[in-house]
Structure 1
Amino acid sequence: MGLWLAPLVLAIFAFATADFVVAGILRELAESLGTSESAAGQLVTVYSLVYAVCAPLAAVVTARVPRRTLAAWAVTLFVFGNLVAATAASYEVLLASRVATAMAAAAVTPMCFTAAGTLPPPGQRGRALGLLSGGIMLAQLLGVPIGTWLGGTWGWQAAFWMCVVLGLVVLAGMLALLPPLELPPALTVRQRLAPVTHGPILRGLSAMMLLSAGTMMMMTYIAPITSAAGGISTNGIAALFVAAGFAGLVATQVGGAASDKLGPLRTLLIGAGTLVTAMAGLAGSVLWGATPFWLLVLLVMIMAFAIGMLNPPLAVWLLSRAGTSGNEVMALNASVMYLGTSLGGVLGGLLLALSGPAALPVLAVAELALVLLLVATAGRGAPREQDASAEREAAPRAR
């Protein structure tokens, strides 16, 4: 692994920061634009939905665009979108800017994961993908808090100016450090999407959706869950998030290294089993109702560690099955992750209103049991071969 990985990690960090930073400046943004906080919160929802829809579409449409050219234009759009957001005078303009930045992130992110999963030697790909996944955790630990502080000190626009600067640094880094990347063979759309129809890849993508739904449901409603488990205060919940963030950041590196040494499927089974155990412990703590703070911190850290441990090996495994359609599969992986996140928030809210906080970890355990089943059976069956004649006729060219 070389310096080429640095702008890719920074790109993931910048995209995740731009996505989540709105949550930190929600009140200031709503007051300034004369809208409600609930309406302002839809700026996050729109970003996630546009990303989920555009990622697989962009992967197919831009399949033959040179990778560095794609990166340059998409990151330029990201910078422009945040520049519009920083100078927006109305909610509608800000909403349009979120659509533009989400489209840019959707076009570049799959390429970043494909490069990290194919450029390094096989024994280092898990660690490279772990570093990329760490960029998301780092955004939650540093990017969002810094953006929130800037927005609270100099106005909400400052948070978007920070994203503009981050985008410019990413653009310069990609132009200077990103090596030539091979284009996939000139296959038809049907041939390019053929791996997605394989049972193992479908199970892997389904596992990612269920994993995202279960974990995001728990993280979104961790306040009522821990309050019911042990009467945790607001300061205590903030401490839980910090502890979870650090645990998740470390876990992405552990998950990547373990994937290289133990294999992706074995690492996935270990991580999913650990996560089921942590979720079951949280369910029991809610039923107990007098759980000590230190035990809740431990359970949340184990949960966050298991979550962070799962993403790198799942990406390694999917790429190993994708053949020449790695970019499309990575795009779908990102798409189902965002869809699962949205699904988890909706299900969690309904369950919290109908059955109370104790029901959330119970549902999460059920979802993760399905993840275990999907992962355990995902290795069965060989993927169908790509059209060999098409691959021979269109050898990949370096760009």
Structure 2
Amino acid sequence: MAKPGLPGWLYVLFLTLLATATDEFIIAGVLREIARDLEVGVAAAGQLVTVFAVVYAVGAPTLAVAFDRFPRRSVMVCGLAVFVLANAAAALAPGYAALLTARVAAALGAAVITAAAFTTAAMGAPAGMRGRYLGVATAGMTAALFTGVPLGTWLGVAMGWRATFWLIAAVGVLAAAGLLGTAPSVPGSSTAPLRTRFAPLRSARVLRLVAVTFTAASGGLMFYTYLAAYVAEVATGSGVLLATALFVVGVAGLAGALLAGRAADALGLPRSLRWVIGGHALALLLLAGYAFSDLTGPLSLGLLVALIALWSVFAWGLNPPIQGSIMAAAGAESAMPALALNISGLYLGTGVAGAIGGAVVAAADVRFVPLAGGVLMMLSFLLTHIPLDSTGSTADAPGTGPRDAPQKTADVPSPSTLT
């Protein structure tokens, strides 16, 4: 029997996460304009990015526990209200301190929105389609890299950086209206005691999966951070080559998120997660091999772009299987705090990626970055083969089942029960 089509509210979640992810990355595109207008150094303006990431990483699990007892739709709409007001405040900020404060508020709003959005996508999915729903939600964050961020950057350069924040605020208003009108009423864990909501912090299975996310983000995003430098080093091309590579990263990453969601449903969570991480490690090692090869000419440039596309498919394919595995390991009552904890692992891994990558470049050169990333990805792959039960002993558990017995994504309440 054919599976049902995707509901409209899922595309609203796509739009919601597109807005929050664009807000996260957009500062990089208008950094100089902000520094010049507010009369601060570029380094100080860059701290707006750092503060957003740190607040997001710390705030996600904390706020998820605090708001876990409320319906997910209410959490998302309230989070969007804070997010919209914060971006409006950023657009009106008279100085650096006011803008920094607005970015803190925006990060807190985005943190609670993201955890609730992924929980809604998973719990609102019919049986056997959780991975696909998570893939669509993840695609919203991926699409920000090659739609929201470039558009916002262009708008900021053409009309001033404040216009960028007005655009994000407007998208947030549209997303909130869409959620109010279409999102399923996924209930909060109102009956769960506080001990249950903090359970992910004590669960060996959840923490192991967060470690998988952390090491995968450290390895994969290390290469993304130094992608421009890598392309310039291994291929003496023009800016057109880099622009092509960045476009390919966005398109292939979007495809990877959607394909990984389908793979999670078809192959089961453990197998799809290992395929994604193993493929990611292989792609990075191939890119390392290319860096030390003597290939030249148009065919070699085509091979480089193809390898970058392959890497991007696997790099942005991580979220659907890892999010599904986290939910299966935590259980429905602790799903949102567990997903938020995983988001923290992702952001911490992103920070470590830049630090390790910088050390590699300083000690050797940028050609070694994909090799270092590949080593971290292999560590992440090994972690996926250590299924632990809640006591920490090796055992097959929901969401981490035996290697030779594919486990489908766990059944969840049907949409008809989420009214």
Aligned-residue sequence identity (percent) comes to: 36
**How much does 1:234 deviate?**
2.7
Q: Does 1:50 align with 2:61?
A: no
> What is the correspondence of 1:1-399 to structure 2 with a 5 Å cutoff?
1-288=6-293, 290=295, 292-323=300-331, 324-378=333-387, 380-381=394-395
**How much does 1:317 deviate?**
1.2
CA contact (8 A) 2:69 2:189 kept: yes
Distance (whole Å) between structure 2 residues aligned to residue 243 and residue 358 of structure 1: 20
**How much does 1:262 deviate?**
0.6
**How much does 1:378 deviate?**
3.0
Higher mean Cα deviation, 182-191 or 122-131? 182-191
CA contact (8 A) 2:11 2:136 kept: no
Distance (whole Å) between structure 2 residues aligned to residue 233 and residue 214 of structure 1: 27
CA contact (8 A) 1:228 1:289 kept: no
Q: Normalising by structure 2, what TM-score? A: 0.89
CA contact (8 A) 1:72 1:175 kept: yes
**How much does 1:192 deviate?**
1.9
Distance (whole Å) between structure 1 residues aligned to residue 294 and residue 161 of structure 2: 39
Runs of 4+ in 1 over 6 A off after TM superposition: none
**How much does 1:232 deviate?**
3.5
Distance (whole Å) between structure 2 residues aligned to residue 271 and residue 187 of structure 1: 34
Distance (whole Å) between structure 1 residues aligned to residue 170 and residue 311 of structure 2: 33
Distance (whole Å) between structure 2 residues aligned to residue 370 and residue 262 of structure 1: 22
Q: How many residues align?
A: 387
CA contact (8 A) 1:230 1:290 kept: no
* Match of residue 392 from structure 1: none
SS state of the match for residue 261, structure 2? helix
Higher mean Cα deviation, 240-249 or 172-181? 172-181
SS state of the match for residue 338, structure 1? helix
Distance (whole Å) between structure 2 residues aligned to residue 4 and residue 238 of structure 1: 33
**How much does 1:167 deviate?**
0.8
**How much does 1:10 deviate?**
1.0
Distance (whole Å) between structure 2 residues aligned to residue 8 and residue 375 of structure 1: 28
Distance (whole Å) between structure 2 residues aligned to residue 76 and residue 289 of structure 1: 54
Distance (whole Å) between structure 2 residues aligned to residue 289 and residue 95 of structure 1: 47
CA contact (8 A) 1:229 1:290 kept: no
Distance (whole Å) between structure 2 residues aligned to residue 114 and residue 282 of structure 1: 35
CA contact (8 A) 1:60 1:328 kept: yes
Distance (whole Å) between structure 2 residues aligned to residue 247 and residue 216 of structure 1: 15
Stretches of structure 1 that go unaligned for 5 or more consecutive residues are 385-396
- What one-letter code is carried by the residue in structure 2 that aligns with 1:191? T
Q: Normalising by structure 1, what TM-score? A: 0.93
Deviations 1:305-334 (A, max 9, x none): 011222101111111111110001110111
SS state of the match for residue 395, structure 2? coil
Distance (whole Å) between structure 1 residues aligned to residue 226 and residue 245 of structure 2: 12
Q: 1:192 to 1:383 in 2, by over 3 A?
A: farther
Deviations 1:225-280 (A, max 9, x none): 22222224332112101011100001111000011011111111111121111111
- Higher helix proportion, which one? 1
Q: 1:382 to 1:266 in 2, by over 3 A?
A: closer
**How much does 1:398 deviate?**
7.7
**How much does 1:78 deviate?**
0.5
Distance (whole Å) between structure 1 residues aligned to residue 42 and residue 244 of structure 2: 25
Distance (whole Å) between structure 2 residues aligned to residue 234 and residue 306 of structure 1: 25
- What one-letter code is carried by the residue in structure 2 that aligns with 1:361? P
